[in-house]
Amino acid sequence: MNNVIEIKNLSKSFKEIRAVDDLSFSVREGELFAFLGVNGAGKSTTINILCGQLQKDAGTVLIDGQDAQKNSDLVKSKLGVVFQNSLLDGALTVKDNLESRGALYGLSGKELKERIAELAKLLQFENLMKRTVSKLSGGQRRRIDIARALLHDPKILILDEPTTGLDPQTRNLLWSVMTTLRKERNMTVFLTTHYMEEAADADYVVILDSGKISACGTPLELKNSYTGDFITLYNSAQSDVEKLGVPYERIRDAYRLSVPNTAKATELIQAYPALFVDYEITKGKMDDVFLAVTGKKLTGGSEK
């Protein structure tokens, strides 16, 4: 796959604060790319530079082979962006919001009407077209935000914490739509999120801390590098668990054992087969990875 985003030695400071510090990474075409970090890590600053809303101090940003600064209009036509805060006009109807946005991309008449109808069906807001945006729920508004970003059929969709505060049903709908677009249109999705289960489904993950990359890789690579495995052992006595010689904790009706890797779990099972009658083995989660890498827990909210 080709790299659709390439960032090399990117830097940006706000007075004495180094928001982005010599950042380099690439995003492949068609992949779900997760860009993680606590508030203030530099995620939104990087996104604003990608979108041309902020000038970089140094470095190179290429979007689909084009310099984001030198060819800003062309680059913007390839991007669809959903920011943390909605950009919809609350005084207008859903239809008016989408039509006015479409006009900025040169869409009009039958073409625009058909595109809006297609997105309304995809994102399930056909019954909301005449409703004023200010009267929409958070989940309804978010669906319109995404439709607004997709009007011009962008090659890359940037989602800045798109599901924060949404109900599970709406979150599931949005991710179903993202999966469909990636499959049918080979769209690249660039995601920031504080929901680690969303990051766990990414093709590639970059963890940012204080403007620098602290870790990167596939979710599996990161789990193998920064967390161990866990064995949940059921119907066992504490005295038997202690014989295994590994850290453990009591959870409800079971014991949760921590082991460095799957090989160690296999070794214990082979050494003590009588104890492993009812058990399960799981890998560490992305929350564990993030905490191990940054020493911090990930929470949502706005940042620079």
pLDDT at 195: 84
Sign of CA dihedral 136, 142, 148, 151: negative
| Strands 32-36 vs 188-192: parallel, antiparallel or unpaired | parallel
Could you tell me the CA-to-CA distances from 58 to 13, 24, 62 in Å, in that order? 10, 12, 13
pLDDT surpasses 80 at 51 = yes
Domain definitions of the chain by residue range: 3-222, 228-283
**Whether CATH 3.40.50.300 fits 3-222:** yes
Residues 6+ apart with CB under 8 A from 203: 28, 31, 32, 33, 218
pLDDT surpasses 70 at 301 = no
Q: Considering only CA atoms, which of 65, 66, 46, 72 is closest in space to residue 57?
A: 46
Q: Which of 64-73, 89-98, 140-149, 294-303 bottoms out in mean pLDDT, i.e. has the lowest? A: 294-303
Q: What percent of the chain has pLDDT over 90?
A: 78
* CA atoms of 146 and 162, how far apart (whole Å): 9
* CA atoms of 36 and 191, how far apart (whole Å): 8
One-letter identity of residue 150: L
Q: How confident is the model at residue 304 (pLDDT cuts 50, 70, 90)?
A: very low
Q: Tell the CATH superfamily of the 228-283 domain.
A: ACT domain (3.30.70.260)
| pLDDT tens-digit series, residues 16-50 | 899 999 999 999 999 999 999 988 889 999 999 99
* CA atoms of 161 and 170, how far apart (whole Å): 14
Q: What is the mean pLDDT of the chain?
A: 92
| pLDDT tens-digit series, residues 76-133 | 999 999 988 889 999 999 999 999 999 999 999 999 999 999 999 999 999 999 999 9
